[in-house]
Structure 1
Amino acid sequence: MNPSTLSSLLFTLSLILISHAPLPTSGASRCESLCNEAGNDKGSCLQFVKANPKLASANDDLKLSKLVLEIGVKRAIEGQKYLKEIMKSDPSPAIRQCATTLYDGVVGSFRSSLGELKLDALTANYDAKVAGDGPTTCDTALAAERINNPSIAALNKEILLISKIAFLATNSLA
């Protein structure tokens, strides 16, 4: 084989190898993959990611999980404060339960999940999922008392979505 043919062959082989090398996953595609796992909530998940641009900068699953859980803690605390304000003007047992016991659990579950991320990924994953129990039970309690409050329903829906996204994110660590 002459040198020019050998050079061409080596160059071609190099290009083939380079083209098949895995590319590092960017935060944006990591979030997109995460939202693809969200099933019917894919669109809502993508909106959540767009509304929280820090998520796209996550360069690994641990960082992404941490950011989602931090947002979950923050939104759960804000939601609980909002529910306690509603409770002042409407002290029904269901709203009281939502504002206290149930959202105490939501905040606690997100915090626990965040604290367990590096120590016990399986427990972090479980706690992220359990954070969604509060909004579900709140919706049930409100329905039992025939309370129709769209703002509480929207809050519960948002917290459920964050719980689902946190569960999917932490699932990759477990």
Structure 2
Amino acid sequence: MNLYESLCYDTLSGYRAACLKLLESDTKISSAKNYVDITNSILDLAITKATDGQNYISNFNKKNQDPAIQKCATTLYSLSISSFKKAKVELVKNPSTASSSARFAGNGPDYCADAIKAVNINDPAIVDINKNVLLVSEIPSVAARKLVK
């Protein structure tokens, strides 16, 4: 079993298939041989996914002008991106903090999902973005915990 496969089995059980699909497509992740390298690569992927998601939601908001979408695109996704970046900085010197920061990054898409549901916005792309960013917050959190001594 590859390192990324092991991480996917340690991640939320209902998301194993999605985890495997997401990670195996990135050669830096699928070929990683240690938890520092794989966690850094997953955090890079998380930053990219969150940034792409934020851009999509920002463009969606230009057409729909809703305070819930505006909050997702600005405050909530900015929080996620900065938390992923903090996790990268903390990974080697304080993996426990890195794990917490990665998990905290999942609050952005989680709160975004609640906010758009409350105002009956149902855009399948935003739903998928929120799910994917939530998933990529869980995976590096699990990986960073493997480094805690």
TM-score greater than 0.5 by the shorter chain = yes
Amino acid at match of 1:36: Y
Between 73-82 and 99-108, the greater mean CA deviation after superposition: 73-82
Amino acid at match of 1:58: A
Q: CA deviation at 1:30?
A: 1.1
Aligned equivalents of 1:52 and 1:69: distance in 2? 12
Aligned equivalents of 1:56 and 1:97: distance in 2? 34
Aligned equivalents of 2:89 and 2:28: distance in 1? 20
Q: Which residue of 2 aligns with 1:6?
A: none
Q: CA deviation at 1:46?
A: 0.7
Amino acid at match of 2:2: S
Amino acid at match of 2:133: I
Q: CA deviation at 1:129?
A: 0.3
Aligned equivalents of 1:42 and 1:125: distance in 2? 19
Aligned equivalents of 1:32 and 1:170: distance in 2? 15
Matched-pair contact (CA < 8 Å) for 2:68–2:116: yes
Q: Which residue of 1 aligns with 2:138?
A: 164
Gaps of 5+ in 2: none
TM-score in terms of structure 1 length: 0.82
1:3-152 matches, cutoff 5 A: 29-38=2-11, 39-152=13-126
Q: Which residue of 2 aligns with 1:14?
A: none
Aligned equivalents of 1:126 and 1:171: distance in 2? 9
Aligned equivalents of 2:97 and 2:2: distance in 1? 26
Aligned equivalents of 1:90 and 1:66: distance in 2? 36
Whose Rg is larger?
A: 1
TM-score in terms of structure 2 length: 0.95
Gaps of 5+ in 1: 1-27
Aligned equivalents of 1:32 and 1:86: distance in 2? 34
Deviating beyond 4 angstroms after TM superposition, the runs of 4 or more aligned structure 1 residues are none
Amino acid at match of 1:115: V
Residue aligned with 1:99, SS: helix
Deviations 1:89-145 (A, max 9, x none): 111011000000000101011001011111211110000101110111001000111
